[in-house]
Structure 1
């Protein structure tokens, strides 16, 4: 049953991704917006909601009003490939992502269409260009940065935040919203030292519901005399 469930879900996932990408590419060049946000971003949110229903992911938001018309950065923890879908579920968002994602078929095309900022962390000029882009970008819809810098084991331990994200927020005086996502069961959703295919197969074959608590913490607006290192530590 596990294998049958996984095959059916993954097939539906691929078909939905193909159709949504096709629709986004067809309208991405048109100046259509809804509630001040480009239509392709709303289509990515719709795809996210569909996927979370398909895989029986149940979300509980704590203080969801803090996301209403929010302009700024969102700084969540990072433990799963589902994190992106969850960040897109409530409303459209954009992301800071690794540069190689730009060239991925379908996913990379959607990422570009919704305004993702790409960075090659091994390239200093790329990092500086990403910082410059983030300092100039319109912060509505919000921009999601994962300050841990990746997914690391063990998944139940928060890694020290890199101060670069806080430095960007501090330089522009841009507010940021710390966010915590807690998964149950965690072992099904954690993407550890394994291929995405292995992780997706385990996740797609799981028959139970997956519960995620999304805690939206108090918004923080950096002051001119704040220290980004201290902001990262305190957050």
Structure 2
């Protein structure tokens, strides 16, 4: 993430009762076992997969999907999707509400996140990101050609790349304007002719009786307390993914036009789901 979205209101204070702590004690170890166990299996398979297939990963992404889908089962969150997954080569773009987006988007589709280079050095998260094939980029124009080449290699290997054009997570109640920077890489001669982009709307539905922004992660919120709050929730809410129709990059004049289209589609899908939720 770049500049963190702050919002107008401070995050809700952390309140975990006796039942909540009991759920943390139950769900936390199971979730840790799932994630770490999945990581160990993935790394072991990658030792065989790498020399045989190189950059292609025909097996290990299914481990990531299994872990992410079952993480929601352990936590007790509902998970549902609509729309058809893109079969064409290209990228997926989505709105960004929380670290939970990573689990949700990985649970439905074999994807590889595009993230800023600093994430690779984050304790724990950086290790997981590297193991699952995250594409790390530096926001330096001098390295634009090098990063475009990396995108081309990954796309031609059959990878679906995913990034959050908002550049930061929010409270989940809005879609921020899309930044156009990363869209520029898709308009090179090497990529434009065959590249598609699929917009996805990610909508979180809060647990009954909780604020609508319950799952949002923004401002100066720390990961640890947010994780505890999520594990302690009873009953849980749900997350919904809406996969919109993919568009061909060459159908757009430039990165700004493509980013504006994707933002409009994601915003409409997000708004429609929030409006349905608000109905009695």
The bucket for the TM-score relative to the shorter chain is 0.7 to 0.9
Are residue 159 (structure 1) and residue 209 (structure 2) matched?
A: no
Contact 2:200/2:244, CA 8 A, preserved across alignment = yes
TM-score under structure 2 length normalisation = 0.74
Alignment correspondent of 2:90: 72
SS in 1 for 2:44: helix
Alpha-carbon contact 2:172-2:215 (below 8 Å) kept = no
Are 1:191 and 2:208 an aligned pair?
Answer: no
Where in structure 2 are there 5+ consecutive unaligned residues? 1-18, 207-211, 263-280
What corresponds to 1:231 in structure 2?
258
> For residues 156-202 of structure 1, what are the alpha-carbon distances to aligned partners after superposition, in whole Å with 9 as ceiling and x for unaligned?
12111111232222321210000101111142211122100011111
Q: Deviations over 1:125-164 (max 9, x none)?
A: 4565433311332253311111111213x53121111112
- CA–CA distance in structure 1, aligned partners of residues 133 and 39 of structure 2: 14
Q: 1:90 to 1:155 in 2, by over 3 A?
A: closer
Partner of 1:29, secondary structure, is: helix
Aligned to 2:75: 55
CA contact (8 A) 1:96 1:143 kept: yes
In structure 2, distance between residues paired with 1:46 and 1:66: 17
Output the CA distance in 2 between the equivalents of 1:142 and 1:23: 22
Aligned length in residues: 229
Q: Distance in 2 between matches of 1:46 and 1:72?
A: 23
- The verdict on how the C-alpha distance between 1:26 and 1:146 changes in structure 2, with shifts beyond 3 A counting, is same
CA distance in 2, matches of 1:157, 1:225: 25
Q: Does 1:181 align with 2:202?
A: yes
Residue number among 38, 42, 47 corresponding to 1:29 in the alignment: 47
Secondary structure of 2:92 counterpart: strand
CA RMSD after TM alignment: 2.3
Largest Rg, 1 or 2: 2
With normalisation by structure 1, the TM-score equals: 0.87
